[in-house]
Amino acid sequence: MLEGDRVVLRPIQERDRERLYELVETIEVRALSTHDPPLPLSLEEIEARDRRWLEERHADSAWFAIDVDEETIGMCGLHSIDHFQQRAEIGIRLGRAYWGKGYGQDAVRTLLDYGFRHLNLARISLRVLADDERAVGAYRRAGFVEEGRLRAHAWYDGARHDELVMSVLRDDWKPA
């Protein structure tokens, strides 16, 4: 378990599946948090995907449920972990009702601490829609800096959007 100021990150368990399905498998949340098409998935499809994922044993990722006062509000993790290059990407999905309350920012800071202290990473990066001011601002407050812009890189809500590449380097990171 990882404790932030406001959130607790813990391993995702079987009992979390239905709650996470309700929170983060909506079209809106999926569209903002993945580069895959936001296709509707049934709970059965999610269960099958999760079973396959567990069977494959992914050493290049670490995913957590995000809890606030013992209530699950979303999930987050590090993925594409490359221990040789000491880098990873960060991802987060919060239920819509929990946006704009500081929980995501705290979860991201907690993941940064985990990645830098415990996984010996030197760089953690992400990509975010450039015009998603809420997310970009939260990432900046968590310590991410913009490295570049991928023009017209993402399809979202019926239009092409620029994406920002952002990162935090361990040498620049300031733990809470």
pLDDT, position 26: 76
Mean pLDDT along residues 17-36: 79
Mean pLDDT along residues 140-144: 93
Assigned token pair, 113: 């601490």
Domain limits, the chain: 2-123
Please tell me the pTM assigned to this model: 0.87
Report residue 54's pLDDT band, with 50, 70 and 90 as the boundaries.
low
Cα–Cα distance measured from residue 150 to residue 57, given in angstroms and rounded to the nearest whole number? 32
Report residue 139's pLDDT band, with 50, 70 and 90 as the boundaries.
very high
CATH architecture, domain defined by 2-123: 3-Layer(aba) Sandwich (3.40)
Rounded to 5°, the CA angle 2-24-79 comes to 50
Select from 82, 94, 100, 110 the least CA-distant residue to 22. 94
Three-class SS state of 149: strand
Average pLDDT, the chain: 89
Report residue 42's pLDDT band, with 50, 70 and 90 as the boundaries.
confident
Question: pLDDT digit string (tens) for 73-83?
Answer: 999 999 999 99
